[in-house]
Chain A
């Protein structure tokens, strides 16, 4: 990671304005209310179909749009590059003697740095959207695609307005808005040209649609005699009715409104109020969008409708803002667009900020696999540039089971001076940052693989292979013992193949797909030994690897011969609580009666909740065994662990943890549980540092003595 990124993260974390605003907004709840009575999955299915089809024929739709809009009297220009778009607009200005321009909000004009270009021509281009105007006065780029000036406080904005309008102002927001109205109003009347973007472009009618709330787009398209709209090719849809689902999803997702105040459909020039005919130009801009549509992986990114929901739900964006997480386009989708519209190089640092929690994918109205595409960027960067040496060597070590496990065993001896009650609370010198906000767990004296050999199990017909995962094996061996004990009670004998090693998720998450495939390959044969009925995993991330990613990654790496076995494993894999819930419901496990009740709050690991959809089962199993669930705020928001993320982005990780700890504390529960050793490690370490009374315990250890 570059020093400047690290410094800007630090600066952003110190300025908590944006984070505070997004928290007070409570976007998830407001969004849910806006979608009441609407089947979001069906709606986004429609949008993905329409935009996916359009993305496959952008050139054809652009030609259709051009033909139809020109028949209506609009001048249409298809610009292949940012430079062509700028030149076209510059030429119209020159021809018509344009001196003053009013602009309504358009990310496409930001993409091509249009204001800067016009400025060099001596043309004054004034932003009229309140947020954009504030950014223009502050000489800053937008930090959010929908609400550009969200990073600034009312005090800062008041100062900017006072300087611009030469008057002293207080910090009252409605008053500040009126100051802007007055300051900008005259500009609409003086301008020779209005520039807008578009939210949708309809090919069959040559129509552009703009959705706005303030009313500035109405004025900038009606008062000046020339209107130019700059429209990215991805805004094209074939038919008029294709706009309906987009108009339903966009405002609900963007601002939790049912509809924006004004939705304009412009299909032809109309008369100005002096009787002259308005001149309307539409610039359809490619700027690498066609190239993107030809990439089988990234084509889906053109299904984006620029609602910025992926920013609003992103736990990293919410902490550091778009000035760190993004460039012109910000947040998750912004990282992808930056890579294509600028270049891969400039997205390289940014992509490292994604923790891969998948929250964005849940709300994307275009059904884009945003986190998957960011991972693909990481993969391509790693392929091109190679991973940093130290990081690559450590991944290689993990893949060499004997070396890796020997290292872990050695660590259990070397860590001794720092360990107290199973935690490492202080590390010396350069490692101290790792234990600043969170104590680290110590490596167990004896790994589960050694303990397993000493466990006496009943002989049973039904077998389950236990895939422990590294953390459970070497840090939390007691959890493994609890799992064996509970499964034995259900009449299942547990097998533990010694050859098992890392599931490959760390490699996958760092974009090293080849090493992830090697990890899968190493594990497949051992896990199928003895033809077990179940493969039991007790870690959300490892579960994801076995249930989903191994088949995908083997296909991706052309190891087709292994796929049938990987599919067999996927079919038999259960997350531990998922299996316990099933066994309780099948009456093969019977909870004890009359046990003392306890309160518990449950944290959903990102992988368990969003990659494999397991969140109800652990709650049902824990409830059945005497734990009353007290849900915490944002129970499924990432704890900040993210595997190696906590090492690569320690500052962000710790801020995420702080929020998680606060949400846990507020429940007042006795226990917090999660089925992921990584999350448990993060939360336990954090609660240890704050001296909390809340105990962090894996579900298996909570339930071990609760069955008959």
Chain B
């Protein structure tokens, strides 16, 4: 399932898929990524990280001390000035390389929609087949706002030439984590 998810996602427009066995390794990658992208505490260079279950394993204060431009309280102004937006997604869809987001909390939307680079954390165990499978997992009766995200923002409105990064992220980095949210997931 992971392999077909990865293959589809990586052909959906400026998207890379990374996979880590442990949460610690995944967090290490994200930290290095933030450093590499030169996150600073100035508009245009922020990183915003919306509430995610992976944050339970992170020392937020230590991270902020290391990267003053990293913010865990996502406001519209911070998201607007963000180079990187980090969110955790609920499900991955192998058929299309999509991810399902519970978007009820506006912070999840701001962090994933306004930045240049969206870092999407996905528990590897939550990769399912397709939209019909997604429909059995997430239902609008329970969730006010849901979004399926596939690849970077794109357009072909000028002469049908594909251009990436119109109103949303121009790059999507998917971080699959094998040991994340394993509780209650049937193998």
Q: In the complex the two chains form, what is the Cα distance from A218 to B148 in whole Å?
A: 11
Query: What distance in Å separates the Cβ of A222 from its nearest Cβ neighbour in chain B?
Result: 5
B131 neighbours in A (Cβ, 8 Å): 244, 247-248, 259
Q: Tell me if B147 and A131 are in contact (CB < 8 A).
A: no
Q: In the complex the two chains form, what is the Cα distance from A255 to B12 in whole Å?
A: 13
Q: Tell me if B168 and A148 are in contact (CB < 8 A).
A: no
Q: In the complex the two chains form, what is the Cα distance from A214 to B83 in whole Å?
A: 18
Q: Tell me if B147 and A216 are in contact (CB < 8 A).
A: no
Find B158's partner among A173, A213, A243, A266 (CB 8 Å cutoff). A173
Q: Most A CB atoms within 10 A — which of B114, B135, B144, B164?
A: B144
B3-22 to A contact mask, C-beta < 8 Å, 1/0: 00000100011000000000
Q: In the complex the two chains form, what is the Cα distance from A215 to B12 in whole Å?
A: 15
Flag whether A493 is at the interface (Cβ < 8 A). Answer: no
Query: What distance in Å separates the Cβ of B155 from its nearest Cβ neighbour in chain A?
Result: 5
A542-571 to B contact mask, C-beta < 8 Å, 1/0: 000000000000000000000000000000
Q: In the complex the two chains form, what is the Cα distance from A173 to B104 in whole Å?
A: 35
Query: What distance in Å separates the Cβ of B50 from its nearest Cβ neighbour in chain A?
Result: 11
B160 neighbours in A (Cβ, 8 Å): 21-22, 24-25, 147, 150
Q: Tell me if B168 and A218 are in contact (CB < 8 A).
A: yes
If A268-B144, A270-B145 touch, whether A131 touches B157 (CB-CB below 8 Å) is: yes
A176 neighbours in B (Cβ, 8 Å): 158
Flag whether A360 is at the interface (Cβ < 8 A). Answer: no
Q: In the complex the two chains form, what is the Cα distance from A151 to B110 in whole Å?
A: 34
Q: Tell me if A259 and B109 are in contact (CB < 8 A).
A: no
Q: Tell me if B113 and A267 are in contact (CB < 8 A).
A: no
Query: What distance in Å separates the Cβ of B157 from its nearest Cβ neighbour in chain A?
Result: 4
Q: In the complex the two chains form, what is the Cα distance from A22 to B107 in whole Å?
A: 40
Flag whether B139 is at the interface (Cβ < 8 A). Answer: yes
Q: In the complex the two chains form, what is the Cα distance from A247 to B153 in whole Å?
A: 18
Chain B residue nearest in CB terms to A105: B157
B141 neighbours in A (Cβ, 8 Å): 205, 267
Q: Interface extent on B, as a size class?
A: 35 or more
Q: In the complex the two chains form, what is the Cα distance from A270 to B102 in whole Å?
A: 12
If A215-B113, A270-B106 touch, whether A149 touches B158 (CB-CB below 8 Å) is: yes
Flag whether B65 is at the interface (Cβ < 8 A). Answer: no
If A177-B166, A261-B152, A264-B147 touch, whether A270 touches B104 (CB-CB below 8 Å) is: yes
Interface residues in A493-543 by Cβ distance below 8 A to B read: none
Chain A residue nearest in CB terms to B95: A258
Interface residues in B2-55 by Cβ distance below 8 A to A read: 8, 12-13
Q: Tell me if A181 and B159 are in contact (CB < 8 A).
A: no
B143 neighbours in A (Cβ, 8 Å): 265, 267
A233-276 to B contact mask, C-beta < 8 Å, 1/0: 00000001101100110000001001111111111111111000
Q: Tell me if A181 and B106 are in contact (CB < 8 A).
A: no
Flag whether A202 is at the interface (Cβ < 8 A). Answer: yes
Q: Most A CB atoms within 10 A — which of B106, B110, B141, B155?
A: B155
A178 neighbours in B (Cβ, 8 Å): 165
B155 neighbours in A (Cβ, 8 Å): 130-131, 177, 213-214
Q: In the complex the two chains form, what is the Cα distance from A157 to B158 in whole Å?
A: 8
A121-153 to B contact mask, C-beta < 8 Å, 1/0: 000000011110010000000000001111011
A152 neighbours in B (Cβ, 8 Å): 158
Query: What distance in Å separates the Cβ of A210 from its nearest Cβ neighbour in chain B?
Result: 10
Q: In the complex the two chains form, what is the Cα distance from A266 to B104 in whole Å?
A: 9
Flag whether B76 is at the interface (Cβ < 8 A). Answer: yes
Flag whether B184 is at the interface (Cβ < 8 A). Answer: no
Q: Tell me if A255 and B159 are in contact (CB < 8 A).
A: no
Q: Most A CB atoms within 10 A — which of B109, B144, B158?
A: B158
Q: Tell me if A153 and B159 are in contact (CB < 8 A).
A: yes
Q: In the complex the two chains form, what is the Cα distance from A102 to B155 in whole Å?
A: 18
Interface residues in B83-107 by Cβ distance below 8 A to A read: 95-96, 98, 103-107
Q: Tell me if B158 and A258 are in contact (CB < 8 A).
A: no
Q: In the complex the two chains form, what is the Cα distance from A332 to B169 in whole Å?
A: 35
Q: Tell me if B151 and A222 are in contact (CB < 8 A).
A: no
Find A214's partner among B12, B74, B153 (CB 8 Å cutoff). B153
Flag whether A72 is at the interface (Cβ < 8 A). Answer: yes
Q: Tell me if B147 and A240 are in contact (CB < 8 A).
A: no
Chain B residue nearest in CB terms to A17: B159
If A149-B157, A244-B131, A270-B106 touch, whether A264 touches B146 (CB-CB below 8 Å) is: yes
Q: In the complex the two chains form, what is the Cα distance from A269 to B160 in whole Å?
A: 35
Q: In the complex the two chains form, what is the Cα distance from A153 to B157 in whole Å?
A: 11
Q: In the complex the two chains form, what is the Cα distance from A24 to B168 in whole Å?
A: 27
Q: Tell me if B150 and A222 are in contact (CB < 8 A).
A: no
Q: In the complex the two chains form, what is the Cα distance from A572 to B145 in whole Å?
A: 59
Q: Tell me if A185 and B106 are in contact (CB < 8 A).
A: no
A150 neighbours in B (Cβ, 8 Å): 157, 159-160
Q: Tell me if B146 and A265 are in contact (CB < 8 A).
A: yes
B146-187 to A contact mask, C-beta < 8 Å, 1/0: 111111111111111101111111000000000000000000
Q: In the complex the two chains form, what is the Cα distance from A204 to B157 in whole Å?
A: 34
Q: Most A CB atoms within 10 A — which of B75, B96, B141, B159?
A: B159
Query: What distance in Å separates the Cβ of A565 from its nearest Cβ neighbour in chain B?
Result: 49
Query: What distance in Å separates the Cβ of B114 from its nearest Cβ neighbour in chain A?
Result: 7
If A241-B132, A268-B145 touch, whether A174 touches B163 (CB-CB below 8 Å) is: yes
Chain B residue nearest in CB terms to A148: B157
Q: In the complex the two chains form, what is the Cα distance from A176 to B167 in whole Å?
A: 13
Q: Tell me if B106 and A261 are in contact (CB < 8 A).
A: no
Find B76's partner among A157, A205, A223, A265 (CB 8 Å cutoff). A223
Chain A residue nearest in CB terms to B166: A214
Find B132's partner among A218, A244, A270 (CB 8 Å cutoff). A244
Find A261's partner among B13, B144, B146 (CB 8 Å cutoff). B13
Q: In the complex the two chains form, what is the Cα distance from A267 to B132 in whole Å?
A: 18
Query: What distance in Å separates the Cβ of B57 from its nearest Cβ neighbour in chain A?
Result: 26
If A25-B160, A173-B158, A244-B131 touch, whether A214 touches B168 (CB-CB below 8 Å) is: yes
Query: What distance in Å separates the Cβ of A595 from its nearest Cβ neighbour in chain B?
Result: 47
Q: In the complex the two chains form, what is the Cα distance from A173 to B158 in whole Å?
A: 7
Q: Tell me if B156 and A264 are in contact (CB < 8 A).
A: no
Q: Tell me if B156 and A255 are in contact (CB < 8 A).
A: yes
B139 neighbours in A (Cβ, 8 Å): 205, 240
Q: Tell me if A263 and B165 are in contact (CB < 8 A).
A: no
Q: Tell me if B152 and A265 are in contact (CB < 8 A).
A: no
Find B165's partner among A181, A189, A255, A265 (CB 8 Å cutoff). A181
Q: Tell me if A273 and B75 are in contact (CB < 8 A).
A: yes
Interface residues in A459-503 by Cβ distance below 8 A to B read: none
Q: Tell me if B96 and A130 are in contact (CB < 8 A).
A: no
B113 neighbours in A (Cβ, 8 Å): 215, 218-219, 222
Query: What distance in Å separates the Cβ of B6 from its nearest Cβ neighbour in chain A?
Result: 15
A247 neighbours in B (Cβ, 8 Å): 131
B164 neighbours in A (Cβ, 8 Å): 174
Q: In the complex the two chains form, what is the Cα distance from A96 to B155 in whole Å?
A: 33
If A214-B155, A218-B109, A241-B135 touch, whether A262 touches B148 (CB-CB below 8 Å) is: yes
- Please give me the 8 A-B residue pairs with the lowest Cβ-Cβ distance, nearest first: A215-B168, A131-B157, A268-B144, A214-B166, A215-B153, A215-B167, A263-B148, A267-B140
19 A-B pairs (CB sep. < 8 Å) = A147-B157, A148-B157, A205-B139, A214-B157, A215-B113, A216-B166, A216-B167, A219-B168, A223-B76, A240-B135, A241-B135, A259-B96, A259-B131, A261-B151, A261-B154, A262-B147, A262-B149, A273-B75, A273-B107
Q: Which residues of A contact B (CB under 8 A)?
A: 21-22, 24-25, 72, 128-131, 134, 147-150, 152-154, 157, 173-174, 176-178, 180-181, 184-185, 188-189, 202, 205, 207, 213-216, 218-219, 222-223, 240-241, 243-244, 247-248, 255, 258-273
Given contacts A130-B157, A259-B131, A261-B13, 15 further A-B contacts (CB under 8 A): A134-B157, A147-B156, A150-B160, A154-B158, A157-B158, A214-B154, A214-B168, A215-B169, A218-B147, A219-B168, A247-B131, A258-B12, A262-B147, A270-B144, A273-B110
